[in-house]
Amino acid sequence: MVKFKIASVDSIIIYFADFISKENASIVQYNYILLKNLKNRGIIDITPSYTSILVHYDLNCFTSESIMDSLKQHLCLKIEKEEDEGRAVEVPIYYDLEVGFDLQRISDLSDISIEEIIDIHSSTLYSVYTIGFLPGFAYLGEVDAKIATPRLETPRTKIPKGSLGIADNQSAIYPMQSPGGWNIIGRTYLDMFDKNLEGFSYLNVGDRVKFKPISRDEFLTNGGVI
Amino acid sequence: MIDGGILSLIEDFGRFGLCDKGITNSGVMDEYAYIIANRLLQNSPNTNCIEITLGGLKLKAHSSCVISITGADCECKIDSKEVRSWKTYNLNKGETLEFGYAKSGMRTYLAVKGGFNVPDALRSASVTIKEKLGGLDGDKLKKGDILHFSNLQFLENNTALKENLIPKYKKSLDLRIVLGYQVDFFEKKDIDKFFSTNYTISSQNNRMGYRLEGEPIECMVDGIISEGICFGAVQIPKDGQPIVLLKDRQTIGGYPKIGSVLPIDCFKLSQLRAGDSITFKPIEIKRAEEKMELFNSSLLQI
């Protein structure tokens, strides 16, 4: 059910599906990498999300008609199972009440102990569905339904850099200090966004992510800040 | 830098190819004024400049240089001598350049021959404060900042833009919009209302976007699955008041969008301020492509 829609005079949006699922995310990710690898100078920006890809093109190279014709030839709508394996990434997290301001709230709402929440969260394999909101802010799905928790009613004005949060069935790390409404459960010492980092963002669309619980000591000796 | 004014930022055309990392395009809000500022100095097109919002900037030249001033009609003085915009000037070592407040328009552009020596942060010198990227330290210009430049040669003949090419910034504007995205999720009566309403620019207008006030528009869906947002996209949030998204917009978002304002009209919108009024006019994609080409080819003839 691929649909092309005009987004503006110099961008089109391709819809691959109309609901969020792992399969649909894989199709988007596969085509995103395919378009990126074309290295077409007439394509300025490619923005993948859960079910769509926005393509911003150079009007000196394409019209809305010619970009659609050109992209239709490249897109792949059925992907083989082997092809949806993304890069495996492990992210160390210090899960504790000291930095996980909302562990208690999630525990109260779900009636699950904090130890078990950490266990459930860190034993799930997540994939990066999309990146947005802030540079390097990767939306990870999906959080186990047992600990999925809605956003805070009143967002915090300052969430420290590296904070790991849950919003409904998604998880994400704040790459920089920012206001935000996600339930914070821990913190990493890694830089999720750094202009000196190769690719700039620690996580990329399509990556498979696992969180590894670490001790306070390990967090601090690796440069973690409390 | 004696005074950074309200909001003065180093900008160029912006940062491209990084939306997939959540990094916005950034860049000058009014590309027309920016292009002319560099053209007057015979700079290469993407040379960085200072985007001065509303005014208040004051700086002292520690070396002689050549500058150009374009954009909003801002009172401007070199030492105590009044100067006009859309022109180039030689600035002597020790002289002070001071901007008052814009009488018409919103953003003034100050370029220097050869550009400022500011390193690119991710392919561009443009500042986006939210991302702490670009400029000297990812922030607006402040008292005490020093901007270096390499070209110390005066121009023998200073130049000015032809009078008939200087835009007149008005208090109202028609914005041409290419319908698209979720336009099918709006009923005809709401689309008609959208095109017949006189909208007022609210106080919530900045480099991210301009929030408008007027007849609320209803969409048949409350939200959509988050997707990429392009320059000029018009979002209709739950309260029905449109938001035109501009250079520092978020890369993805979950509100329905009715279409996108032509980039060349967004440049004009960037010179409007709270209280000014706008209306929307639909434009077919083919016509819109022609208008963009016309804008680019007419620039080449200046």
Let me know whether B154 and B258 are in one domain: no
Let me know whether B106 and B245 are in one domain: no
Report chain A residues whose CB lies below 8 A from the CB of B135.
Answer: none
Let me know whether A92 and A193 are in one domain: yes
Let me know whether A66 and A106 are in one domain: no
In 3-state terms, what secondary structure has residue B227?
strand
| Mean confidence (pLDDT) of chain B | 95
Provide residues of B within 8 Å CB-CB of chain A: 16-23, 25, 121-122, 130-133, 178-181, 225-233, 250-253, 257, 259-260, 262-263, 285, 288-289, 292-293, 296
Report chain A residues whose CB lies below 8 A from the CB of B285.
Answer: 6, 9, 64
pLDDT score for B300: 84
| Mean confidence (pLDDT) of chain A | 93
Residue that is last in its domain, among A51, A69, A84: A84
pLDDT score for A20: 86
pLDDT score for B228: 97
Let me know whether A52 and A116 are in one domain: no
Confidence of residue A84 (pLDDT cuts 50, 70, 90): low
Let me know whether B78 and B27 are in one domain: yes
Give B43-95 pLDDT, tens digit per residue: 999 999 999 999 999 999 999 999 999 999 999 999 999 999 999 999 999 99
**Which chain B residue has the Cα nearest residue A56?**
B230
Q: Which of B16, B226, B260 sits opposite A8 (nearest CB)?
A: B260
DSSP lists the bridge partners of residue B152 as none
Total number of domains in chain B? 2
- Residue A31 belongs to some domain of the structure: yes
pLDDT score for A133: 85
Report chain B residues whose CB lies below 8 A from the CB of A159.
Answer: none
Q: Which of B16, B122, B262 sits opposite A195 (nearest CB)?
A: B122
Residue that is last in its domain, among B165, B184, B218: B165
Let me know whether B131 and B258 are in one domain: no
Distance from CA of A82 to the nearest CA of B (A): 24
Residue that is last in its domain, among B131, B165, B199: B165
* B69 closest CA partner among B46, B57, B87, B81: B87
Distance from CA of B126 to the nearest CA of A (A): 14
Q: How far apart are the first and last CA of chain A?
A: 48
pLDDT score for B301: 81
Q: Which of B225, B231, B250 sits opposite A132 (nearest CB)?
A: B250
Give B231-243 pLDDT, tens digit per residue: 999 999 989 999 9
Confidence of residue A78 (pLDDT cuts 50, 70, 90): confident
Distance from CA of A122 to the nearest CA of B (A): 24
- Using a pLDDT cut of 70, give the percent of chain B over it: 100
Let me know whether A134 and A30 are in one domain: no
- Using a pLDDT cut of 90, give the percent of chain B over it: 91
pLDDT score for A80: 64
In the predicted model, what is the mean pLDDT of residues A92-100? 98
Let me know whether A217 and A193 are in one domain: yes
Instruction: Decide if A5 touches B, using CB distance below 8 A.
Output: yes
Rounded Cα–Cα distance for residues A137 and A192 (Å): 8
CATH number of the domain encompassing residue B187: 2.40.100.10
Let me know whether B121 and B228 are in one domain: no
* B88 closest CA partner among B148, B151, B31: B151
Q: Is B163 exposed, middle or buried (0-12, 13-18, 19+ CB in 10 A)?
A: exposed
**Which chain A residue has the Cα nearest residue B20?**
A47
Let me know whether A102 and A187 are in one domain: yes
Structure tokens at B128: 């986006």
pLDDT score for B63: 94
Let me know whether B277 and B232 are in one domain: yes
Give A107-119 pLDDT, tens digit per residue: 999 999 999 999 9
Let me know whether B42 and B155 are in one domain: yes
- Residue A17 belongs to some domain of the structure: yes
pLDDT score for A196: 80
- Residue A174 belongs to some domain of the structure: yes
Let me know whether B32 and B75 are in one domain: yes
Kindly calculate the radius of gyration of chain A based on its CA atoms and give it in whole angstroms. Answer: 19
User: For residue A74, what are the CA distances in angstroms to A4, A52, A67, A71, A121?
Assistant: 14, 15, 11, 5, 37
Q: What is the extent of the structural domain holding A53? A: 3-84
Judged by CB atoms closer than 8 Å, whether chains meet at B285 and A9 is answered as: yes
Tell me which residue has tokens 């180039």.
B88
Rounded Cα–Cα distance for residues A50 and A63 (Å): 26
In 3-state terms, what secondary structure has residue B215?
coil
Let me know whether A50 and A67 are in one domain: yes
- Residue A146 belongs to some domain of the structure: yes
Q: What is the extent of the structural domain holding B72? A: 3-165
Count of CB atoms situated within 10 Å of the CB of B84: 13
CATH number of the domain encompassing residue A66: 3.30.1360.40
Which of A3, A4, A9 is the best residue to mutate to test the B interface, defined by the most B CB atoms within 10 Å of its own CB?
Answer: A9
Residue that is last in its domain, among A52, A84, A116: A84
In 3-state terms, what secondary structure has residue B103?
strand
In the predicted model, what is the mean pLDDT of residues A178-203? 91
In 3-state terms, what secondary structure has residue A187?
strand
Instruction: Decide if A89 touches B, using CB distance below 8 A.
Output: no
Report chain B residues whose CB lies below 8 A from the CB of A9.
Answer: 178, 260, 262-263, 285, 288-289, 292
Reply yes or no on whether the pLDDT at A83 is more than 60: no
Give B2-56 pLDDT, tens digit per residue: 999 999 999 999 999 999 999 999 999 999 999 999 999 999 999 999 999 999 9
Give A129-142 pLDDT, tens digit per residue: 999 888 999 999 89
Judged by CB atoms closer than 8 Å, whether chains meet at B19 and A46 is answered as: yes
Reply yes or no on whether the pLDDT at B264 is more than 60: yes
Let me know whether A126 and A188 are in one domain: yes
A96: region left, alpha or beta (phi > 0 left; psi from -120 to 50 alpha): beta
Residue that is last in its domain, among B148, B165, B182: B165
pLDDT score for B151: 83
Let me know whether B23 and B126 are in one domain: yes
Helix or strand (DSSP H, E) at A45: strand A43-48
Judged by CB atoms closer than 8 Å, whether chains meet at A135 and B19 is answered as: no
3-state helix, strand, coil in chain A (%, to 5): 25, 30, 45
DSSP lists the bridge partners of residue B179 as B259
pLDDT score for B138: 94
Let me know whether A129 and A187 are in one domain: yes
Q: Which of A6, A47, A204 sits opposite B285 (nearest CB)?
A: A6
In the predicted model, what is the mean pLDDT of residues A16-39? 91
In the predicted model, what is the mean pLDDT of residues A174-191? 94
* B38 closest CA partner among B8, B17, B11, B60: B11
Give B131-180 pLDDT, tens digit per residue: 999 999 999 999 999 999 998 788 888 899 999 999 999 999 999 999 99
User: For residue A155, what are the CA distances in angstroms to A103, A184, B223?
Assistant: 16, 11, 20
Tell me which residue has tokens 């210009």.
B141
Residue that is last in its domain, among A54, A84, A114: A84
Q: Roughly what angle, to the nearest 10 degrees, separates helices A114-123 and A103-110? A: 100
- Residue A176 belongs to some domain of the structure: yes
Q: How far apart are the first and last CA of chain B?
A: 32
Confidence of residue A197 (pLDDT cuts 50, 70, 90): confident
pLDDT score for B244: 98
Q: What is the DSSP string of B36-60?
A: HHHHHTT--TT--EEEEESB-EEEE
Let me know whether B28 and B156 are in one domain: yes
Report chain B residues whose CB lies below 8 A from the CB of A199.
Answer: 21
Report chain B residues whose CB lies below 8 A from the CB of A200.
Answer: 18, 21, 23, 122
Q: Residues B39, B113: contact at Cβ < 8 Å?
A: no
Report chain A residues whose CB lies below 8 A from the CB of B121.
Answer: 195
- Residue A51 belongs to some domain of the structure: yes
Report chain A residues whose CB lies below 8 A from the CB of B250.
Answer: 132-133
In the predicted model, what is the mean pLDDT of residues A156-175? 95
Let me know whether A61 and A142 are in one domain: no
Judged by CB atoms closer than 8 Å, whether chains meet at A45 and B25 is answered as: yes
Let me know whether B186 and B68 are in one domain: no
- Residue A193 belongs to some domain of the structure: yes
Rounded Cα–Cα distance for residues A83 and A214 (Å): 32
- Residue A226 belongs to some domain of the structure: no
**Which chain A residue has the Cα nearest residue B289?**
A9
The size of chain A, in residues, is 226
Let me know whether B143 and B187 are in one domain: no
Total number of domains in chain A? 2
Helix boundaries (H) for chain A: 22-37, 64-74, 103-110, 114-123, 216-221
In the predicted model, what is the mean pLDDT of residues A57-68? 97
